[in-house]
Copies of this chain bind each other. A is one copy, B any other.
Amino acid sequence: MSKGLLIVLSGPSGVGKGTVCTALRSQVPDLVYSVSATTRSPRAGEVDGVNYFFKTREQFLEMIEHDQLLEYAEYVGNYYGTPRDFVEKTLAEGKDIILEIEVQGALKVKEKFPDGIFVFLMPPSLDELKDRIKGRGTESQDTIDHRMSVAVDEINLLQHYDYAVVNDKIELACERIQSIITAEHCKIRK
């Protein structure tokens, strides 16, 4: 049995990680999605263990303390993190698992899981990324400038990744990621 692979899909905010990840999962039903843990309350329709593992603050802090998270971060007063046991259990079953995560989180995962396949989703150009960030809504020029500067800093972290995939078209980006997964399964580990 070929061992399962952890595929970490990351990239700057606005690049389309979520869209590409959703498309990929619909094309590759065998690909398991890494479900995050969070302390925020479930929204209508969200199911525990599917959308998130919903935890109390106490439970989450205990997971941190027992090194049960591959990474975690606090965002607008709530904790979000990647449970280690779900990833390890999936890989042990010989299944591939994909984790969609922002750049800083991916680098933390790499510290604990250097054997993961780290894929950086790239905008076709910085202009294109700016358009996508602008296109999201009615954000102020300051916010847009700030998010662009963060994105440029993140793109400079590219060399910590294994692969760069340009998200010019969702289907093409998905095909490239599927190729990377196929190739990694053929790779001779030394």
- Could you tell me which A residues sit within 8 Å of B by CB distance? 119-120, 158-159, 161-165, 175-176, 178-180, 182-184, 186-188, 190
Contacts and interface: CB of A to CB of B under 8 A. Distances in A.
A158 B190 CA distance: 10
A124 B40 CA distance: 50
A163 B182 contact: no
A54 B158 CA distance: 46
Contact of A187 (B162, B175, B182, B186): B162
Contacts of A159: 188, 190
Contacts of A188: 120, 158-159, 161-164
Contacts of A178: 179
Contacts of A162: 187-188
A28 to B, nearest CB: 13
Interface centre among A175, A186, A188 (most CB of B within 10 A): A186
A174 to B, nearest CB: 12
12 contacts: A120-B188, A159-B190, A161-B188, A162-B188, A163-B187, A164-B186, A165-B186, A176-B183, A179-B183, A182-B183, A183-B183, A183-B184
A179 B182 CA distance: 6
A12 to B, nearest CB: 16
Contacts of A183: 163, 176, 179-180, 182-184
A176 B186 contact: yes
Contacts of A164: 186, 188
Given A120-B188, A163-B187, A175-B182, 20 more contacts: A119-B186, A158-B188, A159-B188, A159-B190, A161-B188, A162-B187, A162-B188, A163-B183, A163-B188, A164-B186, A164-B188, A176-B182, A176-B183, A176-B186, A179-B180, A179-B182, A179-B183, A179-B186, A180-B182, A183-B184
